[in-house]
Amino acid sequence: MIYYKTEAEIALMRESALLVSKTLAHIAGLIKPGITTLSLDKIIGEFIRDHQAEPAFLNYKGYPFNSCISVNDVVVHGFPDKNELKEGDIISVDIGTLKNGYYGDHAYTFAIGDPGDDVMKLIRITKESLYKGIEKAVAGNRIGDIAYAIQEHTEKKHGYGVVRELVGHGLGRSMHEDPQVPNYGRKGIGPVLREGLVLAIEPMINMGKKDVYTEEDGWTVRTVDHKPSVHFEHDVCVRKGKAEILSDYSIIEKVEKANPNLYTKD
Ligand code: MF3
Ligand code: CO
């Protein structure tokens, strides 16, 4: 069942998505070598509650933390822990909020110090692929057009591995609504996009092979070849002519660039 949102609902979803962006911007200023992902997770939970919202991942299907923080070869759903971050690590921080009955859910990958040119390129290409997917999120197109654009830019053009087991999704009064949004596939297939459909588009792109496995904890998804993986996610509203991005990377990027511990060039 696909739900199309009214303008009033989209306004609330924009608020929820923006709170995720603000939370990501807040922690972008705190990331440094020596800090633990568990301490970032605590700050994330407090920041969200301070803004009249709930951390949506906590207790979702039993998930035990406020956020997912996925380091290096962890693709997604990494558990925050007491290990200290170090120079050369990359971390995807994925955050969900529930505010006024609507979910925000998006993610950003940061580089701590210089992880090397190859990894910086993987980060750049994955972020670019997200925007190439978003360009296709316009009324009249199909889900397959988004999927194809992401796969084309990452796998076909640069030889990276596109994760098959996990996909983007509709977003609204539930965190995972129809339709699924794969990061691979053929153009022209799948559900038709109509104005008011809100999607979480989230390429998960591996430096090496596409294969992943889930650890014993039931959550942590890792690359089989243990090469790094990058994850970016935006909340997007399908519109006529041009998609509207409800989340906002510009406020995150501003803090990221100003933090000397974070690497932003490649
Ligand atoms: N961005 C993730 C997703 O769309 C968030 C779910 S993580 C969970 O699946 F912890 F909440 F399950
Ligand atoms: Co998501």
Name the DSSP letter for residue 155.
I
Tell me the per-residue pLDDT of 162-207, one tens digit each, with 9 for 90 and over.
Answer: 999 999 999 999 999 999 999 999 999 999 999 999 999 999 999 9
What's the gap in Å between 168 CA and the centre of ligand 2?
A: 6
Establish if 1 belongs to a structural domain: no
| Domain boundaries, position 160 | 7-263
Contact 19, 97 (CB under 8 A): yes
Looking at the chain, the whole-number percentage of residues with pLDDT higher than 90 is: 99
Establish if 157 belongs to a structural domain: yes
Tell me the per-residue pLDDT of 129-144, one tens digit each, with 9 for 90 and over.
Answer: 999 999 999 999 999 9
Establish if 199 belongs to a structural domain: yes
Ligand 1 lined by 65 (C-beta under 6 Å): no
pLDDT of residue 265: 76
The mean pLDDT value for 211-215 works out to 98
The mean pLDDT value for 87-96 works out to 98
Mean pLDDT of the chain: 98
**d(C-alpha 50, C-alpha 48), whole Å:** 5
**d(C-alpha 162, C-alpha 201), whole Å:** 14
- The pLDDT-based confidence of 255 (bands split at 50, 70, 90) is very high
Annotated binding residues for a divalent metal cation, written as ranges, equal 94, 105, 169, 202, 233
Ligand 1 lined by 77 (C-beta under 6 Å): yes
Structure tokens at 166: 């996990």
Structure tokens at 48: 């969200």
Structure tokens at 81: 């822990």
Looking at the chain, the whole-number percentage of residues with pLDDT higher than 70 is: 100
CB neighbours (10 Å) of residue 84?
A: 13
Establish if 168 belongs to a structural domain: yes
Which residues have beta carbons under 5 A from ligand 2 (an ion)?
105, 200
**How far, CA to CA in Å, does 131 sit from each of 38, 60, 135, 203, 261?**
30, 28, 6, 10, 26
Establish if 113 belongs to a structural domain: yes
How many distinct structural domains can be found in the chain?
Answer: 1
Which CATH number goes with the domain that contains 23? 3.90.230.10
What's the gap in Å between 92 CA and the centre of ligand 1?
A: 12
**d(C-alpha 220, C-alpha 232), whole Å:** 17
Establish if 2 belongs to a structural domain: no
Q: Say whether pLDDT at 248 is over 90.
A: yes
pLDDT of residue 62: 98
Residue of 60, 201, 221 with the most ligand 1 atoms within 8 Å of its CB, for mutation: 60
Ligand 1 lined by 105 (C-beta under 6 Å): yes
Ligand 1 lined by 20 (C-beta under 6 Å): no
What's the gap in Å between 235 CA and the centre of ligand 2?
A: 9
CA dihedral (163, 166, 172, 177) in degrees, to 10, reads 130
Helix axes 37-49, 7-28, angle to 10 degrees: 140
Residue of 44, 94, 235 with the most ligand 1 atoms within 8 Å of its CB, for mutation: 94
pLDDT of residue 156: 98
Ligand 1 atom with minimal separation from the 61 CA:
12
Q: Say whether pLDDT at 106 is over 80.
A: yes
Tell me the per-residue pLDDT of 41-74, one tens digit each, with 9 for 90 and over.
Answer: 999 999 999 999 999 999 999 999 999 999 999 9
Ligand 1 atom 4, closest CA: 168
Residue 191 neighbours by CB under 8 Å, 6+ apart: 2, 142, 143, 178, 179
- The verdict on pTM exceeding 0.95 is yes
pLDDT of residue 20: 99
Residue of 76, 181, 219, 220 with the most ligand 1 atoms within 8 Å of its CB, for mutation: 76
Can you tell me which residue has the tokens 């996009």?
193
**d(C-alpha 143, C-alpha 198), whole Å:** 12
